Structure 1
Amino acid sequence: MELAERYIDGVLSGAIPACKWVKLACQRHRDDLKADNSADWPYRFDPAKAEKVCKFIELLPHTKGKWRKRDPLNPTAHLLRLEPWQCFIVCMVFGWVRKSDGFRRFRQVYVEVPRKNGKSALVAAIGIYMLCADGEEGAEVYAGATTEKQAWEVFGPAREMLINRPDVKDRAGISVNARNISIIAKAAKFEPVIGKPGDGASPSASITDEFHEHATSEQFDTMVTGMRSRRPKPAGRRPARSPRRGRCPESGHGKAERVGSARRPADRHAGPGRLRGQQGRCPTAAGAPPHQRAPGHVLRLSAAQAAGAPLIFALRNA
């Protein structure tokens, strides 16, 4: 959490190049912390929950390049180390919970970052966490994309991480198979999905990579509606809707929702936490090298989803 706080300080002070939307996300976190003690504020930030996920991710190894190689003189050199912006995303998603039941505040996350910034490795590790450490019985985690090759860009590293950390795999009772990762004792599974998944899926977590390549939002929508069975609403039901068409329907094409307004009902901006990039792109600081480019963050809670356990990530390159 300390790393995330340093990142927030750097963004708000201008020391870290960041686009408008990242600055607003950081400011929202600080503003919402001030409201944490208010009796009518429905959320609280739990640093222990945020740090638990960060520590779990950093137990897992790199799967590519020079970072994969083990160093006898440094036994942890091959393990993942979260960058500050990655730590910020993880802490915001997993640290903010509802006071009423402890479920997550944010359940839909849209992330835009420049290429080769490690987003696939990050969400692969999050997928493993959601499979074995989130406390969800019968967890179903899906790595979705438009092609099998793209789906394996997330699922493949997840397999490699577990194969190369047998201690983590064995302690969680995980079986790594050719086409899926499973925990037989908990009836849990993590597997790739291409195109529109079947209606029988009941995902506890879904990762949609390269979201802008999807012709419609069909896969995303099917995952969201399938999650309702995890925490059904006490009453009422929304009718099914037609898939949205066009590239990257959730990236904010054509509009940018207001963020940081003083007029924000607790169940709208601060509850749903809506933050969208403009025209599906995240502006970067002019001339900034790739490792300093500002990632775009969208943390959005869908009113159609009933509770905090299910989680869905949509990703694209900026």
Structure 2
Amino acid sequence: MVATKTTRASNSSTAQARPDRTKAYALDVVAGRIIAGPHVRNACRRHLQDLIQGPERGLYFDHAAAEYAFQYFENVLMLSEGQFEGRKFELHPSQAFIIGSLFGWKGADGLRRFRRAYVEQGKGNGKSPLAGGLGLLGMTAAGEAGAQIYSAAAKKDQAGILFADAVKMVKKSPLLAKRVEFAGGEGREFSMANHASASFFRPVSRDTGRTGSGPRPFFV
């Protein structure tokens, strides 16, 4: 998942009062209370070290910005299919760490520190809904005018899996369903748009046969 641009997020006293889920997960992993692989353990150690040493390098963790992303997932998005049909998107601690790391860490200029993230999990752990939710956040709630969001893969069907999850989440969410419009018939959607901010979200692949030029992706 890639965020090719960054935006500012305002502080909130309410958000600051909530527990820091990103730090809590890192502490549990480093202490061995949560079993994780070496790359995750290293990411958690880095997070904790940077909370202390980061300011020396112009880095800081914006708890309010991380909490804003958490609240978007858990108060706006609704899951679909199987046992999760119609349920709110309750973030697993590992998902909260991913989202918190991406949206919470800032540089001295107030812009997001990380532009690129590599996320690897076993099948059935919700990677596609997580990525789809990030795309929807970028299209509807990141404060970016004209945001271009892409689900990209080598094959059209692959790109469409993540996009289809995002479409279903929009249709399940009363808040998003009023703001997002679709191109394509029911079950054949190929693009969605938030006209209020002139933003869109669509799947792209190498086998579409299109050679469009000039994309300016916000999230991919």
TM-score range, shorter chain: 0.7 to 0.9
Aligned to 1:84: 93
**Given the alignment, which residue of 187, 198, 202 partners 1:191?**
202
TM-score of the two chains, using structure 1 as the length reference:
0.58
- Cα offsets for 1:141-172 (capped at 9, x unmatched): 000112222111110111111111132332xx
Deviation at 1:22, TM superposition (A): 0.9
**Given the alignment, which residue of 174, 184, 192 partners 2:180?**
174
Higher helix share: 2
Letter in 2 for 1:191: R
**Given the alignment, which residue of 94, 117, 131 partners 2:139?**
131
Aligned to 1:43: 59
Letter in 2 for 1:15: R
Q: Secondary structure at the match of 1:182?
A: strand
Structure 1 stretches of 4+ moved >4 Å: none
Aligned to 1:63: 80
Deviation at 1:185, TM superposition (A): 3.3
| CA distance, structure 1, for counterparts of residue 183 and residue 171 of structure 2 | 10
Instruction: Indicate conservation of the 8 Å contact 1:61/1:79, yes or no.
Output: yes
Instruction: Indicate conservation of the 8 Å contact 1:45/1:95, yes or no.
Output: yes
| CA distance, structure 2, for counterparts of residue 8 and residue 14 of structure 1 | 10
Aligned to 2:102: 93
1:136-285 matches, within 5 Å, as: 136-170=144-178, 173-178=179-184, 179-195=190-206, 198-206=212-220
Which structure has the larger Rg?
1
Instruction: Indicate conservation of the 8 Å contact 2:180/2:194, yes or no.
Output: yes
Alignment CA distance shift 1:149-1:45 (3 Å): same
Q: Secondary structure at the match of 1:204?
A: strand
- Alpha-carbon RMSD: 1.6
1:30 aligns with 2:39: no
| CA distance, structure 2, for counterparts of residue 195 and residue 136 of structure 1 | 27
| CA distance, structure 1, for counterparts of residue 82 and residue 26 of structure 2 | 30
Identity %: 33
Q: Secondary structure at the match of 1:143?
A: strand
| CA distance, structure 2, for counterparts of residue 135 and residue 185 of structure 1 | 11
Deviation at 1:60, TM superposition (A): 0.7
Deviation at 1:193, TM superposition (A): 0.3
Letter in 1 for 2:180: I
Deviation at 1:10, TM superposition (A): 1.5
| CA distance, structure 2, for counterparts of residue 154 and residue 128 of structure 1 | 11
TM-score of the two chains, using structure 2 as the length reference:
0.82
Q: Tell me the matched-pair count.
A: 193
**Given the alignment, which residue of 108, 113, 127 partners 2:116?**
108
**Given the alignment, which residue of 129, 136, 160 partners 1:121?**
129
Deviation at 1:37, TM superposition (A): 4.0
| Structure 1 portions without partners, runs of 5+ | 70-77, 207-318
Letter in 1 for 2:130: L
Alignment CA distance shift 1:175-1:124 (3 Å): same
| Structure 2 portions without partners, runs of 5+ | 1-18, 185-189
